[in-house]
Amino acid sequence: MNHLNSFDNFNKNSPIGIFDSGYGGLVILNKLQSSFPDIDFIYLGDNLRAPYGNLPDNKVIEYSTQAIEYLFSLGCCKVILACNTASSKKELLKNNIIGIIEPTIKKLNNITNNKHIGILATKNTIDSDVYKSLDGVVNQQACPLWVSLIENGLYKTPSGLEIINKDLKSLLDKDSEIDTILLGCTHFNLISDIIQSIVGDINIVSQDDVLIDYVRDIKCSKNGYTKYLTTQNSKEFDIESNELLNRNIKSETIYL
């Protein structure tokens, strides 16, 4: 798989764009790259203005629209919103834009055994109530500090682990019958092992594979190239991305 520093090898109007407010969407991209190694992708992280989860709705829509329009200006045929906070805003879900929430709901409805589901997400996503349409009993827990803990590498510290434990306890105290927990923020996928170790045998669902069926039939170029873009310093993005994913990622800084 090649990771280019120019767009010269992309066929015009063909890559699939993937947008997230930070690093979590890289987990989604990583899964799609593994499943479709020949497809071209452009990843854009608005890391400079992340996290989105605590922003007012109008700012989430404004920033996301800027990123989406930028990806389309580069010739993307579709744009995937790998950000739950952005996907929760119906104003953004227009033609050729795929949000991550709808496919997540479809998967969850098929995977839970007793229909008692817990949701861990940002405050913005929780407040939107987008996951209330799930079948069964749904309990939600906002985790407003988790994105910052993950992006700053503090989730392994005693204070970071204390925050994670406290939020998980708050969720489980709401319903002792929860058998499935959704990581309703793509950043949370990066600490799924820690979450699993705390909640025991409860089924943890990440969002890294919910988009596979949606991408399978997209008509796009197939050269196996990926372009990484960020609104922050590219060297910082590369260091953080490499640490989180253990991959050698080379990005470019763009300005929205």
For residues 172 and 223, state if they share a domain.
no
Residue 11 has pLDDT above 70, yes or no: no
Number of domains in the chain: 2
What percent of the chain stands above pLDDT 70?
95
For residues 123 and 168, state if they share a domain.
yes
Residue 21 has pLDDT above 50, yes or no: yes
Predicted pLDDT of residue 120: 98
Average pLDDT over residues 183-206: 94
Q: How far apart (Å, rounded) are the C-alpha atoms in residues 93 and 112?
A: 27
- Exposed, middle or buried by CB within 10 Å (0-12, 13-18, 19+), for 72? middle
Confidence of residue 14 (pLDDT cuts 50, 70, 90): confident
Chain-wide mean pLDDT for the chain? 92
Predicted pLDDT of residue 227: 95
pLDDT digits (tens, 9 = 90+) for 81-98: 999 999 999 999 988 999
Range of the domain at 193: 101-205
Predicted pLDDT of residue 13: 52
Higher pLDDT, 24 or 166: 166
> Which residue of the set 77, 83, 143, 220 is catalytic?
83
SS3 200: coil
For residues 185 and 218, state if they share a domain.
no
For residues 112 and 201, state if they share a domain.
yes
Confidence of residue 243 (pLDDT cuts 50, 70, 90): confident
List the structure tokens of 244.
């989180």
Higher pLDDT, 86 or 54: 86
Average pLDDT over residues 69-84: 95
For residues 160 and 243, state if they share a domain.
no
In the chain the beta strands, taken as DSSP E runs, fall at 2-3, 16-20, 41-45, 78-81, 97-99, 116-121, 137-142, 180-183, 203-205, 225-230, 251-253
For residues 145 and 69, state if they share a domain.
no
> Which residue of the set 76, 77, 185, 220 is catalytic?
185
For residues 173 and 86, state if they share a domain.
no
Check which CATH number belongs to the domain holding 244 and give it. 3.40.50.1860
For residues 107 and 181, state if they share a domain.
yes
Side-chain-side CA neighbours of residue 73 (13 Å) = 9
Question: Catalytic: 76?
Answer: no
Length of the chain in terms of residues written = 256
Average pLDDT over residues 100-129: 93
For residues 217 and 90, state if they share a domain.
yes
Confidence of residue 78 (pLDDT cuts 50, 70, 90): very high
Confidence of residue 142 (pLDDT cuts 50, 70, 90): very high
Question: Catalytic: 185?
Answer: yes
For residues 137 and 91, state if they share a domain.
no
For residues 136 and 198, state if they share a domain.
yes
For residues 44 and 122, state if they share a domain.
no
Asked if residues 141 and 170 have their Cβ atoms less than 8 Å apart, the reply is yes
Confidence of residue 3 (pLDDT cuts 50, 70, 90): very low
